[in-house]
Amino acid sequence: MVKNIQREEKLEFRLMQLDDIPDVLAIEHEAFTLPWTEEAFRNELTMNHFAKYMIMELNGQAIGYAGMWTIMDEAHITNIAVREAYRGRKLGDKLLDELMQTASYLGMERMTLEVRVTNRIAQGLYEKKGFKPAGVRKGYYSDNNEDAVIMWADLPAHGASGEQEGSVQKQ
Protein backbone atom coordinates (compact mmCIF):
# COMPACT_ATOMS: atom_id res chain seq x y z
CA MET A 1 0.00 0.00 0.00
CA VAL A 2 1.36 3.45 -0.92
CA LYS A 3 0.35 6.64 0.84
CA ASN A 4 1.70 10.13 0.28
CA ILE A 5 2.27 11.84 3.60
CA GLN A 6 3.91 14.93 2.14
CA ARG A 7 4.63 16.07 -1.36
CA GLU A 8 7.18 13.77 -3.02
CA GLU A 9 7.41 11.47 0.02
CA LYS A 10 6.47 7.86 -0.63
CA LEU A 11 5.35 5.76 2.36
CA GLU A 12 5.19 2.01 1.80
CA PHE A 13 4.50 -1.07 3.93
CA ARG A 14 5.87 -4.52 3.14
CA LEU A 15 6.66 -7.82 4.83
CA MET A 16 9.87 -7.92 6.85
CA GLN A 17 12.69 -10.04 5.44
CA LEU A 18 15.89 -11.34 7.01
CA ASP A 19 17.84 -8.57 5.22
CA ASP A 20 15.81 -6.01 7.21
CA ILE A 21 17.12 -7.16 10.59
CA PRO A 22 20.01 -4.62 10.81
CA ASP A 23 17.59 -1.72 10.19
CA VAL A 24 15.08 -3.18 12.64
CA LEU A 25 17.77 -3.55 15.30
CA ALA A 26 18.69 0.14 14.90
CA ILE A 27 15.02 1.09 15.37
CA GLU A 28 14.74 -1.31 18.36
CA HIS A 29 17.70 0.30 20.12
CA GLU A 30 16.26 3.79 19.61
CA ALA A 31 12.81 2.81 20.83
CA PHE A 32 13.21 0.33 23.69
CA THR A 33 15.22 -0.06 26.87
CA LEU A 34 15.03 -3.84 26.39
CA PRO A 35 15.64 -4.24 22.64
CA TRP A 36 15.21 -7.61 21.01
CA THR A 37 18.30 -9.34 19.65
CA GLU A 38 19.17 -10.29 16.09
CA GLU A 39 18.59 -13.92 17.04
CA ALA A 40 15.09 -13.11 18.36
CA PHE A 41 14.08 -11.48 15.07
CA ARG A 42 15.70 -14.24 13.02
CA ASN A 43 13.72 -16.84 15.01
CA GLU A 44 10.49 -14.87 14.59
CA LEU A 45 10.95 -14.71 10.81
CA THR A 46 12.12 -18.29 10.26
CA MET A 47 10.70 -20.44 13.07
CA ASN A 48 7.51 -18.82 14.39
CA HIS A 49 4.66 -19.62 12.01
CA PHE A 50 2.34 -17.38 14.04
CA ALA A 51 4.57 -14.31 13.57
CA LYS A 52 3.84 -11.59 11.01
CA TYR A 53 6.21 -8.61 10.75
CA MET A 54 6.13 -5.58 8.49
CA ILE A 55 8.46 -2.76 7.56
CA MET A 56 7.39 0.85 7.02
CA GLU A 57 9.58 2.61 4.47
CA LEU A 58 9.74 6.27 3.57
CA ASN A 59 11.38 6.90 0.21
CA GLY A 60 12.88 3.39 0.35
CA GLN A 61 14.38 3.77 3.85
CA ALA A 62 13.14 1.61 6.74
CA ILE A 63 11.82 4.03 9.37
CA GLY A 64 9.53 1.75 11.37
CA TYR A 65 8.36 -1.78 11.85
CA ALA A 66 5.63 -3.71 13.60
CA GLY A 67 5.02 -7.31 14.49
CA MET A 68 2.25 -9.53 15.76
CA TRP A 69 1.43 -13.12 16.49
CA THR A 70 -1.77 -14.43 14.93
CA ILE A 71 -3.27 -17.25 16.97
CA MET A 72 -6.75 -18.55 16.21
CA ASP A 73 -8.81 -15.35 15.82
CA GLU A 74 -6.62 -13.07 17.95
CA ALA A 75 -3.60 -10.95 17.08
CA HIS A 76 -1.04 -10.07 19.74
CA ILE A 77 1.15 -7.06 18.94
CA THR A 78 4.74 -7.94 19.84
CA ASN A 79 6.50 -4.75 18.77
CA ILE A 80 5.74 -1.46 17.07
CA ALA A 81 8.36 1.27 16.67
CA VAL A 82 9.31 4.28 14.56
CA ARG A 83 12.80 5.78 14.21
CA GLU A 84 13.31 8.66 16.60
CA ALA A 85 13.91 11.18 13.78
CA TYR A 86 10.47 10.42 12.31
CA ARG A 87 8.36 10.54 15.47
CA GLY A 88 5.69 13.21 15.88
CA ARG A 89 4.54 12.89 12.24
CA LYS A 90 1.64 10.44 12.85
CA LEU A 91 3.69 7.61 11.33
CA GLY A 92 3.11 5.32 14.33
CA ASP A 93 -0.60 5.92 13.72
CA LYS A 94 -0.24 4.83 10.09
CA LEU A 95 1.86 1.81 11.07
CA LEU A 96 -0.73 0.67 13.62
CA ASP A 97 -3.51 1.16 11.04
CA GLU A 98 -1.61 -1.07 8.61
CA LEU A 99 -1.02 -3.73 11.26
CA MET A 100 -4.69 -3.73 12.27
CA GLN A 101 -5.78 -3.89 8.64
CA THR A 102 -3.44 -6.83 8.03
CA ALA A 103 -4.75 -8.65 11.12
CA SER A 104 -8.32 -8.13 9.93
CA TYR A 105 -7.40 -9.38 6.45
CA LEU A 106 -5.94 -12.52 8.05
CA GLY A 107 -9.26 -13.17 9.82
CA MET A 108 -8.33 -11.90 13.26
CA GLU A 109 -11.30 -10.62 15.27
CA ARG A 110 -9.48 -9.07 18.26
CA MET A 111 -6.08 -7.57 18.92
CA THR A 112 -4.13 -7.24 22.17
CA LEU A 113 -0.90 -5.75 23.44
CA GLU A 114 0.99 -4.80 26.58
CA VAL A 115 2.28 -1.27 27.13
CA ARG A 116 4.26 0.26 30.00
CA VAL A 117 2.01 1.93 32.57
CA THR A 118 4.16 5.08 32.20
CA ASN A 119 3.96 5.22 28.38
CA ARG A 120 1.00 7.58 28.10
CA ILE A 121 1.84 8.56 24.50
CA ALA A 122 1.53 4.97 23.28
CA GLN A 123 -1.56 4.37 25.41
CA GLY A 124 -3.17 7.44 23.86
CA LEU A 125 -2.50 6.15 20.36
CA TYR A 126 -3.92 2.73 21.23
CA GLU A 127 -7.02 4.25 22.83
CA LYS A 128 -7.55 6.38 19.72
CA LYS A 129 -7.57 3.15 17.69
CA GLY A 130 -10.18 1.53 19.94
CA PHE A 131 -7.99 -0.34 22.42
CA LYS A 132 -9.32 -0.46 25.97
CA PRO A 133 -7.43 -1.34 29.16
CA ALA A 134 -8.30 -4.83 30.39
CA GLY A 135 -5.85 -5.46 33.21
CA VAL A 136 -2.30 -5.11 34.45
CA ARG A 137 0.66 -7.48 34.28
CA LYS A 138 2.63 -6.81 37.47
CA GLY A 139 6.40 -6.49 37.02
CA TYR A 140 6.15 -7.29 33.29
CA TYR A 141 9.25 -5.34 32.20
CA SER A 142 12.44 -6.91 33.53
CA ASP A 143 14.63 -3.80 33.16
CA ASN A 144 12.85 -1.93 35.97
CA ASN A 145 10.04 -4.31 37.05
CA GLU A 146 7.46 -1.86 35.65
CA ASP A 147 3.88 -3.01 35.24
CA ALA A 148 2.23 -3.33 31.83
CA VAL A 149 -1.30 -2.35 30.92
CA ILE A 150 -3.03 -5.07 28.88
CA MET A 151 -5.19 -3.55 26.15
CA TRP A 152 -7.68 -5.13 23.73
CA ALA A 153 -9.51 -3.94 20.62
CA ASP A 154 -12.13 -5.53 18.40
CA LEU A 155 -11.19 -5.56 14.72
CA PRO A 156 -13.68 -5.05 11.90
CA ALA A 157 -14.39 -7.98 9.65
CA HIS A 158 -12.21 -7.77 6.54
CA GLY A 159 -14.00 -5.70 3.95
CA ALA A 160 -16.45 -4.23 6.47
CA SER A 161 -17.23 -0.61 5.88
CA GLY A 162 -15.80 1.92 8.28
CA GLU A 163 -14.06 5.26 8.29
CA GLN A 164 -11.02 3.59 6.77
CA GLU A 165 -9.66 0.13 6.38
CA GLY A 166 -8.05 -0.98 9.60
CA SER A 167 -10.21 1.28 11.75
CA VAL A 168 -11.96 -0.37 14.64
CA GLN A 169 -15.70 -0.71 14.78
CA LYS A 170 -17.66 1.97 16.60
CA GLN A 171 -19.58 0.70 19.60
140 is catalytic: no
Encode 19-88 in three state secondary structure.
HHHHHHHHHHHHHCCCCCCHHHHHHHHHCCCCEEEEEEEECCEEEEEEEEEEECCEEEEEEEEECHHHCC
Neighbours of 77 (CB within 10 A): 22
114 is an active site residue? yes
Which is catalytic among the residues 28, 57, 98, 114? 114
Of 49, 93, 54, 42, whose CA–CA distance to 69 is shortest?
A: 49
What gap in Å lies between CA 95 and CA 98, rounded to an integer?
5
CA distances from 105 to 6, 27, 75, 149, 166 (A): 27, 26, 11, 26, 9
Catalytic residue of the set 65, 126, 127, 140: 126
The residues that are catalytic are 114, 126
